[in-house]
Amino acid sequence: MTDIEQVQEQQPRLDPRIRNPFTEMEAWTNRIGTQPTLFRPEWPMIDGVDFTPIADIEETDTAWTVEVELPGVKKKDLTVETHGRTVVITGERKEKEREGVLRQRRRAMGSFRYEVTLPRDIDVDGIDASLDHGELVVTIPKQSHQQPRKVKIN
């Protein structure tokens, strides 16, 4: 018996009429993720930015809140700027010192940029930002003259 036949005998036989697309997708993802970098697609580097962090934007009557996931990023490695109605968050997630050989990387490292243009004018002087447990929260007040208000009718 050849090696291939032995391996085929060890694999469980599945009914070919029953397919689970989620199991197939997970198996495919695992195969791709364990291949050398040569076979895995890499995102191209655009304007010196290695990745874009994920974020949520919430709007209230008085402000917008931008919550950006940045685990492992230190306060000193972050910049928050405004350009008109656009808020730009840039920084860098630095590689940590390792004793062993890195066999698999799933986390993005390097420089990042997150940019959002808000639909209304903002109060630049009232912007507040805080970094806690890997989450950057930027609160951007709406400009007061554009706040909706009720007008009393005489």
pLDDT tens for each residue of 74-84: 999 999 999 98
Query: In the prediction, which pLDDT does 59 show?
Result: 93
pTM over 0.85: no
Domain boundaries along the sequence of the chain? 3-39, 55-97+108-146
Q: Give the span between the Cα atoms of 52 and 112, in whole angstroms.
A: 5
CATH architecture of the domain 55-97+108-146 equals Sandwich (2.60)
Average pLDDT over residues 18-23: 68
pLDDT tens for each residue of 114-153: 999 998 888 988 999 999 999 999 999 998 765 566 777 7
- Classified as helix, coil or strand, 132 is strand
